[in-house]
Chains A and B, each alone.
Chain A
Amino acid sequence: MIEAEHLSKIYGSTPAIQDVDFSVEDGEIVGFLGPNGAGKTTTMRILSGYLPATTGTARIAGYDVHEQSMQVRQRIGYLPEIPPLYDEMTVEGFLFFVARIKGVSAGDRAPQVQWAIQRCNLQEKQKVLIHKLSKGFRQRVGIAQAIVHNPPVIILDEPTVGLDPRQIIEVRNLIKSLAGEHTIILSTHILPEVSMTCDRVTIINQGNVVATNTPDNLMAQLSASRGYELEVEGNAELVQPLLQVIPGVKSAEVLPQPQQNHHLIRITTESNNPDLGRDIASVVVKDTGLGLYEMRRTRPSLEDVFLELTTEEATLDLQETPLSEQVSLTSTSEDDSPESEATPSNSQPPSSSDHPTLKNDS
């Protein structure tokens, strides 16, 4: 549905995007993820036909966005970075106007406008002048104008900016519900948004596409930060060499600054061996007799992927990102606690949707 090939846009001598390639299939939701200034908005604008690319081509439904702009414009709904709203109009009046210029036939206009108002939860603001609306409502009117003509392709530039957490969830649900019959491309710098709404992610940094994959695959790629974190009581230096020789363990390090003889040990693993946790616990508890207070798995999050891909220094310690689901257990004494209990639920598949830390907005 959307194909972009070797898109570049150069402003003066500064490239905003370079050689950007991606495609979006029918009915797919693709997220365009990148830090501020990465070239997301530029890409969205090129796709909408608002900006011509310096080099490269983009096609929507087989039409070139620049050469066959009118055919493309008939097929897209576009929410720019700043919602294009006429302050002196009412929400309803504005949506009628948009429906008109998007070519919705006279008979379909009223039902289409009502449909958009309902989808975006704007019923109570229907007759209100746009300049009286709060930022969140303005954003929703912006989304409503992008879908009012029921276009096959929807381009959303930062759709959840300015919304409160409840509204963000609503908008995400709205976007998800539009998938299937609509092809959606959205840009965002908010990671959970991508993992929650998108089928695929394209990560862009400094104008270059650095990765394209499903959110799950991207996280699977990043095995480096897979591992465990242990809190032990006693001489941790003793157990460290023993841990390092367990097959599958890549490294084990004792973090400095113990608290009252409690040490944190961080282990990174190579393999996906589900028994590894049991082995580790066994070494700690049985072989050295240290008190095991907490043991939890650390998983790569999309944040890690993102940081790894968008940070040039490869030395970045990914494990500093404290995003890991706590599968914690605490053994209160030094006795041999049942290993089965001490084993974290390794079999649980990595999922990103339940990370508690949401950087919802900036």
Chain B
Amino acid sequence: MIVLANIYAIFRKELQSYFASPLAYVVAGVFWLISGAVFVFLLLSDQGILQEIATNEQYGVPMSPIDVPYIFLVRFLSVIGSITSFILPLLSMGLYAEERKSRTLELLATSPITNWVVALGKLLGVVTFYITLLVPLLLYEAIALSRADPPVPPAVPLTAHLGLILLAASLLSLGMFISSLTNSSLIAAILTFALIIFLGILDIIANSLPQPLGAILNHLSLIKHYDTLVQGVLDSSSLVLFASYIILGIFLTAQSIEALRFQRS
């Protein structure tokens, strides 16, 4: 009970700090602007889905009947997944770096609250903020999917969004760990961004490696598992992988904060 109360206290404080932070609003604004543009582009532009179908029909290209809402959803969330990679470092960079810089870590480190409780509370806070960023996207999707006939089974968008949130939570968890290593938010953001790019090209690296190693790396690729979920396939191995990344991030963060006690000078 006390543990839950502590997690909630940290969570609440963290979430509050996002809503009080101008940076968070800038990030949110830019994210909404870009995702809105993506939405319009995907559907209506010359290379958009609607144009593609029209062209195909015009030239009489034989094609299997395609599920436009489904294709839209998959493509839209794939792109959002990529955009997310750019904004997540900005959300996670200050999680610990700011506490270190402003010396508030000294308060947390001398309060009866364990490191992993703090880490979990912080992660929940930033993930919740990220989820609020996604809310306007639901509106876009609702517009696109509302006229689908037959309607898209709700399990598909649910799974897809779960995938998006899990992807973000995994990357934020690792970003939180990186933030715990430095006093500088900027350094944390740059390193997190580098890590996200590395994880993003993991499957490309994996394919060029000799087999057993390549297969292992390939399985660790977040993007691959994300794409599976976005397609509406609820694969338990994907869930386990995301959960592993999240737990790894929390564990490393708690360890790094503990180690900090011994390094201070």
Q: Which residues of A are in contact with B by a Cβ distance under 8 Å? A: 11-12, 45, 48-52, 70, 73-74, 76, 78, 80, 82, 84-89, 93, 97-98, 100-103, 145
Contacts and interface: CB of A to CB of B under 8 A. Distances in A.
Interface of B: 2, 5-6, 9-10, 12-13, 16-17, 20-21, 102-114, 261-262, 264-265
A86 B114 CA distance: 19
B84 to A, nearest CB: 25
Given A82-B103, A84-B102, A88-B16, A100 B261 contact: no
Contact of A88 (B10, B20, B105, B264): B20
B265 A48 contact: no
Given A11-B265, A50-B261, A101-B113, A84 B6 contact: no
B107 A87 contact: no
Contacts of A82: 103, 106
A101 B111 contact: yes
B110 A51 contact: no
Contacts of B17: 86, 88-89
Given A49-B110, A85-B104, A88-B17, A100 B265 contact: no
A74 B110 CA distance: 9
B262 A52 contact: yes
Given A11-B265, A73-B111, A74-B112, A97 B103 contact: no
B261 A52 contact: yes
A76 B110 contact: yes
A101 B111 CA distance: 7
A247 B46 CA distance: 112
Contact of B13 (A48, A80, A86): A86
Given A52-B262, A88-B16, A101-B10, A145 B107 contact: yes
A51 B264 contact: yes
Contacts of A70: 112, 114
Given A80-B110, A86-B17, 7 more contacts: A51-B264, A70-B114, A73-B113, A85-B104, A88-B16, A101-B112, A103-B112
Contact of B107 (A45, A52, A98, A100): A98
A80 B110 CA distance: 10
A82 B99 CA distance: 12
A237 to B, nearest CB: 58
Nearest to B104: A84
Find the residue from B13, B105, B107, B261 having the highest chain A CB count within 10 A.
Answer: B107
Find the residue from A51, A93, A101 having the highest chain B CB count within 10 A.
Answer: A101
A210 B81 CA distance: 63
A250 B261 CA distance: 54
12 contacts: A45-B264, A50-B109, A51-B261, A51-B264, A70-B114, A74-B112, A76-B110, A78-B106, A80-B103, A84-B104, A101-B10, A103-B112
A11 B262 CA distance: 10
Nearest to B109: A50
B147 to A, nearest CB: 43
B102 A87 contact: yes
A73 B112 contact: yes
A49 B16 CA distance: 28
A98 to B, nearest CB: 7
Contact of A97 (B9, B21, B264, B265): B9
Contacts of A73: 110-113
A88 B16 CA distance: 9
B111 A102 contact: yes
Nearest to B10: A101
Contacts of A87: 102
